[in-house]
Structure 1
Amino acid sequence: MKTLFTLLISAFLITACSQGNAQENMTVNDLHAIPFNDDESKVVLDVRTAQEYAEGKIPGSENLDVLKTDLFTTSIKKLDKDKTYYVICRSGSRSLKAATQMKEAGFKNVINITGGMQAWGAANFPVEK
């Protein structure tokens, strides 16, 4: 009986810990529907290269290149962990990596944007240069 109880508690703890780090995803349609209205608690974080970012970005977004690993790691330490970050890249792969790293660093509200800027552009949502 004690062994069964220990196994159940262990299973519960493993599940609870893994759910705490579960990755949230959102489509570009969902992101576009969010009213940002100068709400500083919400940040669109574009993790593409500076060159990609300069070619077209979501208005009001911030850029932090995830491929510059050391700089990215150092830079996220300076970000406000209480804000909600909507992380986007070209297609969704780098943003998933960045969002996972941010969650592991203690950020509570990090959402990966699936489809990335390719999906954003395909939906004809606003892009600025």
Structure 2
Amino acid sequence: MVSPFKTPGALSWHELTSNNCKDSMGFYGEIFGWTFKRMDMPQGPYYIIENHGVSIGGIAPNPCPKLPSHWTGYITVTDVDEVAIKAKTLGGDLLYGPEDIPNIGRFCWIQDPDGAIIAAITYLQAGE
């Protein structure tokens, strides 16, 4: 089994409730290389997030559009600093970091153009 701590773009199952699902999918697809599959649910569309063919989470329309889009999770990446730069280039914002976590890796918190917040992290590999 592939470890989410070693696979760029990996996270455990998390959901994003978004005020603009299309823009959210475009933003995260560009940064992490994710693809999406639509599922029609009774409450509306639900978009399965896939990373290298593995379902890892979902995106759903925000049931309360007065609230900002939101989720929390850590995404494994190859280069946190590169992700921070790319997020800003795509209209996002860097909220924290990049910063090292001793004995763990390097991370940052980014905010997409619709206001959702997520963290990107590069874990130290054995021997680093």
**TM bucket, shorter chain:** under 0.3
Q: Higher strand fraction: Structure 1 or Structure 2?
A: 2
More helix per residue: 1 or 2?
1
TM-score normalised per structure 1: 0.25
More relative contact order, 1 or 2 (CA 8 Å, 6+ apart): 1
